[in-house]
Homo-oligomer: A and B are copies of this chain.
Amino acid sequence: MSNSEQTKKIADVIIGLEKAALDRWYKGDPDGYLEIYDEEDLSYFDPPKDKRLDGYSNVKAFYDSIKGLVHSEKYEILNPLVQVLTDTSATLSYNLVAYVGNDINNWNLSSVFKLNKNNQWKIIHTHWSFVRPMDISFEKNKDII
């Protein structure tokens, strides 16, 4: 395969894994993500948490605590981008719009993937954040714009 064919193939696999996990996530099932998180090496940022979660067991405990709670029937991945670092490492990033109850949640999402010895792509780092959270209180945050 050419370099660009290989890149396209990796991108397709990674976006497919992400979409499948996200579909389960918005049905209240976080286990789709737990299945693609690396059990040996994982770090994780999420807005509700006051610091980075390190280690699979800590992320699993958090996800187990929200099982059944997160639902959306309408959500969209915007501009997914896979940046291939090597044949065994790549970064995925996208914007996500999700309709949850009466709210529209706008997310920035980054995940770093590694191909393991069993030829499976696993996430070793994820970072979820809100798009423009200062819109919630723009005045209070004008110093940090």
Contact = CB atoms under 8 A, between A and B. Distances in A.
Contacts of A81: 43, 52, 54
Copies of this chain held together in the complex:
2
Contacts of A83: 41, 43, 112, 124-125
B52 A129 contact: no
Give the interface SS of chain A, mostly helix, strand, loop or mixed.
strand
A79 interface: yes
Contacts of A106: 50
A125 B102 CA distance: 32
Contacts of A86: 85-86, 88-89
Interface in A71-93: 78-79, 81, 83, 85-86, 88-89, 91, 93
B112 A91 contact: yes
Interface string A106-145: 1010101010000000001101011111101100110111
Interface of A: 41, 43, 45, 47-52, 54, 78-79, 81, 83, 85-86, 88-89, 91, 93-95, 100-101, 103, 105-106, 108, 110, 112, 114, 124-125, 127, 129-134, 136-137, 140-141, 143-145
13 contacts: A47-B129, A47-B144, A48-B145, A50-B131, A51-B131, A52-B108, A91-B125, A103-B143, A108-B129, A127-B129, A136-B136, A136-B140, A137-B137
